Amino acid sequence: MADRPGTAPGSTVPETLAAVPAGRPLSRKVVALGGGHGLFASLSALRRVTRQLTAVVTVADDGGSSGRLRRQYGVLPPGDLRMALAALCGDDAWGTTWSRVVQHRFTGETELGGHAVGNVLIVALWELLGDTVQGLDWVGRLLGAHGRVLPMASVPLDLAAEVEGADPGRPDEISTVRGQVACATMRGRVRSMSLIPADPPACPEAVAAVGAADWVVLGPGSWFTSVLPHLLVPGLAEALVTTKARRLVALNLAPQPGETEGFSPHAHLEVLADHAPELTVDVVLADRAAASGTVAELEKAAAVLGGRLVLADLAMGDGSPRHDPRLLAGAFAQIFEGE
């Protein structure tokens, strides 16, 4: 039987920091913004290079277990928050077991079928404590999480996309698509995104974390449905613009079918600038292979945002369009070190 962590002081130094050479400042305050698998990737990397990590997570999901819980209980969709917490779980038997538990999804056509255990647990904590952030902090403690997970807004949001050619028969027509699932799976080309409600209250703790950060990291992730929404929450966008932190944008390894199909890497940056005209960026991090052939345009787009382009090998060796957490951590460490 594994003990709860903390019973043997000194045993909890996270293995995840082993990749960081001694002497590097692990006390840099880093805030990672995103959602879903993209944020899971950035957190899996960032936990290796800092002990002061905060995740700020999109709350616009309306599909699956999160969508059901959101509709039935009027709460924030818990799924992306849960996944971020799992990405930060402790390295010992305690952290990894509870991480597996919260990520476990019931199967079958039952009442619980499709629900992730952590989603149920988060909603229960919210009901019980009556406080979103406190509830997430308790799940973080359960997991022995190497960092804190916060929602980007205090209320559940809906996404709305202005789309060109959603109907293949009318390629020039602009239409509005509402809902994260619909936005992530639609045909056509997204022109712009907005939130419903348009002026949601930012999570105060998230605003404070951005304000106090040394670095903020946007992306990787579903560009329109996980990355851009942060810039559409007025209070959070203002914090991102005014913070003294340095700003890093981590690009995806490949366009995402249904969302950014046909988007070049630099088009991602242009979309970002369109949605947050006042935002400047210090570093744009891109995978060398993904950027191949468009480096000049990418450098130019980074410069328009006020930043420089950093290229590195970031992909998993298996050819899949996923970030290798070690390579991504190495790139983050080098960038943070160099500034």
- Residue located via tokens 């997570």: 57
CB of 16 to a second copy, least distance (A): 18
Report the alpha-carbon distance of residue 46 to residue 40 in Å, rounded. Answer: 10
x/- string (CB under 8 A) for a second copy, residues 8-37? -x----------------------------
User: Residue 60: CB partners within 8 Å, gap ≥ 6?
Assistant: 77, 156, 157, 158, 159, 180, 195, 225, 229
CB of 48 to a second copy, least distance (A): 22
Q: Is 138 in the site for a second copy (CB under 8 A)?
A: yes
Q: Is 112 in the site for a second copy (CB under 8 A)?
A: yes
Q: Is 115 in the site for a second copy (CB under 8 A)?
A: yes
3-state SS class at 183: helix
Instruction: Return the structure tokens found at 339.
Output: 């500034």
Closer residue to a second copy, CB minimum distance, 117 or 152? 117
Q: Is 120 in the site for a second copy (CB under 8 A)?
A: yes
Closer residue to a second copy, CB minimum distance, 104 or 187? 104
DSSP conformational letter for 169: T
In the set 144, 156, 200, 307, which binds a second copy (CB under 8 A)?
Answer: 144
Using alpha carbons only, give the angle 251, 254, 259 rounded to the nearest 5 degrees.
90
Q: Half-sphere exposure of 68 toward its Cβ, with a 13 Å CA cutoff?
A: 10
Q: Is 3 in the site for a second copy (CB under 8 A)?
A: yes
Report the alpha-carbon distance of residue 253 to residue 276 in Å, rounded. Answer: 22
Q: Is 124 in the site for a second copy (CB under 8 A)?
A: yes
Give the amino acid at 77: P
- Contact positions toward a second copy, by CB under 8 A? 1-7, 9, 68, 72-73, 94, 97-98, 100-101, 104, 106, 108, 110-112, 115, 117, 120-121, 123-125, 127-128, 137-138, 141-142, 144
